[in-house]
């Protein structure tokens, strides 16, 4: 058998496996896909899962009339129609994202006026309202692991309020520390009946309760890219160097240049949504290629997730892992 023939047969075999996994992915419930796939694999480490995530998950309620977030330029209030199309990265609530299969939420929390809110340049929505949706999902799907990444925190003066809110709304569902994160398995989460993992961007806050983990356990792969080729190259590099005992979030997203934002304002362009469109089908291409190369993504995070194929692609990838 010639080298070319062997290569073609290998490609066809891999494509056939992917097609089979795609069909099975369509049959898997998005609301409970982890519990369904791993029902007989409770010893699987959480860091070994491949999970779909959303970038700036809480930005869904941003509109042209949203006020500037604390610390953002006041000028945003004068160009809200422009700022909003670059600040908003998701269309669905946190609850809808989770029910749609997302298992990593990127949360930016700030204290605005007299309350805690989710922000991304502009104020999006009240934190308590958003977390109530997370609680409803956790109650309905207690075996679904979810990483809550509070990577932007309010000032220290608001930490007591944040702690109280997290405990009151999510306390019954937050997974407490059990040894090192590298040893956490699905079985640990399921036996504790607590599947929400709360990661916070402040070491002193993380020390308050065993339910909080310092963000140093997570490697954020932010490439600051605007071209597909550069994005792929930078993600590949970080995936090759991944510490498999840590969580890692690879952002399959573009970062706009200042000139793009300014030009978009004059041209009344589609903002981040238009900029992101070339990426929407890439999870379905890149995730299988990474796996074929022996690379193992952990979280793959995207903008406007429901317009991408990230959830189905991740479900297929986990099915392939289990079939090996």
Note whether 149 and 107 are within 8 A (CB).
yes
Among candidates 285, 289, 280, 287, which has minimal Cα distance to 307? 280
**What pLDDT score was predicted for residue 17?**
55
100: three-class secondary structure by DSSP: coil
283 to 9, 201, 205, 312: CA distances (angstroms): 24, 27, 34, 9
Residues in CB range of 227: below 8 A, 6 or more apart:
none
Note whether 134 and 196 are within 8 A (CB).
yes
Checking if the pLDDT of 284 tops 60, the result is yes
Note whether 106 and 98 are within 8 A (CB).
no
Instruction: Indicate the domain borders of the chain.
Output: 28-323
Distance CA 223, CA 234 (A): 6
Count other C-beta atoms under 10 Å from residue 26's C-beta.
11
Checking if the pLDDT of 24 tops 80, the result is no
255 vs 26: which has the higher pLDDT:
255
**Ranges 32-41, 56-65, 255-264: which has the least confidence:** 255-264
Strands 51-54 and 299-302: parallel
For 28-40, how does the pLDDT look when each residue is reduced to its tens digit (9 = 90+)? 899 999 999 999 9
**What pLDDT score was predicted for residue 310?**
99
**What pLDDT score was predicted for residue 266?**
52
DSSP state of 176: P
Distance CA 288, CA 54 (A): 19
- DSSP assignments along 277-316, one per residue: GGGTTHHHHHHHHHHHTT---SEEEESSGGGSSHHHHHHH
In CATH, the number for domain 28-323 is: 3.20.20.190
For residues 35-72, one letter each, b for 16 or more C-beta atoms within 10 angstroms of the residue's C-beta and e for the rest, the string is bebbeeeeebbbbbbbbbbbbbbbbbbbeeebbbbeeb
Note whether 160 and 154 are within 8 A (CB).
no
Mean pLDDT over 120-129 rounds to 98
**What pLDDT score was predicted for residue 115?**
98
Checking if the pLDDT of 5 tops 50, the result is no
**What pLDDT score was predicted for residue 262?**
75
**What pLDDT score was predicted for residue 13?**
52
Share of the chain above pLDDT 90, in %: 83
For 66-90, how does the pLDDT look when each residue is reduced to its tens digit (9 = 90+)? 999 999 998 888 888 999 999 999 9
pLDDT band at 8 (very low <50, low <70, confident <90, very high): very low
185: three-class secondary structure by DSSP: strand
Mean pLDDT over 160-179 rounds to 95
């Amino acid at each position: 058998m010639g080298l070319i023939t062997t290569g073609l047969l290998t490609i066809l075999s891999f494509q056939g496996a992917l097609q089979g996994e795609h069909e099975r992915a369509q049959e898997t419930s998005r609301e409970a896909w982890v519990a369904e796939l791993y029902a007989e694999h409770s010893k699987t480490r959480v860091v070994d899962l491949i999970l779909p995530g959303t970038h700036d998950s809480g930005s869904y309620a941003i509109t042209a009339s949203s006020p500037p977030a604390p610390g953002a330029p006041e000028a945003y209030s004068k160009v809200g129609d422009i700022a909003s199309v670059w600040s908003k990265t998701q269309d669905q609530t946190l609850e809808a994202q989770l029910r749609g299969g997302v298992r990593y939420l990127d949360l930016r929390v700030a204290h605005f006026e007299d309350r805690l809110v989710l922000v991304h340049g502009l104020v999006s929505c009240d934190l308590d309202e958003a977390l109530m949706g997370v609680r409803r999902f956790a109650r309905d799907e207690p075996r679904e692991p979810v990483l809550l990444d509070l990577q932007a925190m309010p000032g220290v003066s608001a930490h007591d309020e944040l702690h109280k809110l997290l405990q009151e709304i999510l306390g019954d569902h937050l997974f407490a520390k059990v040894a090192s994160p590298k040893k956490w398995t699905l079985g640990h989460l399921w036996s504790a009946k607590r599947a929400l993992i709360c990661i916070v961007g402040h070491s002193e806050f993380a020390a308050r309760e065993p339910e909080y983990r310092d963000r140093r356990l997570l490697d954020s792969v932010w490439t600051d890219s605007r071209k597909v080729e550069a994005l792929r190259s930078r993600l590949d590099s970080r995936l090759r160097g991944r510490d498999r005992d840590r969580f890692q979030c690879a952002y399959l997203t573009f970062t706009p240049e200042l000139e793009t934002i300014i030009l978009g304002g004059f041209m009344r362009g589609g903002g981040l949504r238009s900029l992101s469109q070339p990426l929407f089908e890439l999870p379905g291409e890149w995730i299988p290629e990474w796996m074929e190369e022996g690379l193992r993504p952990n979280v793959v995070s995207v903008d406007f997730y429901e317009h991408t194929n990230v959830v189905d692609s991740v479900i297929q990838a986990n099915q392939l892992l289990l079939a090996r």
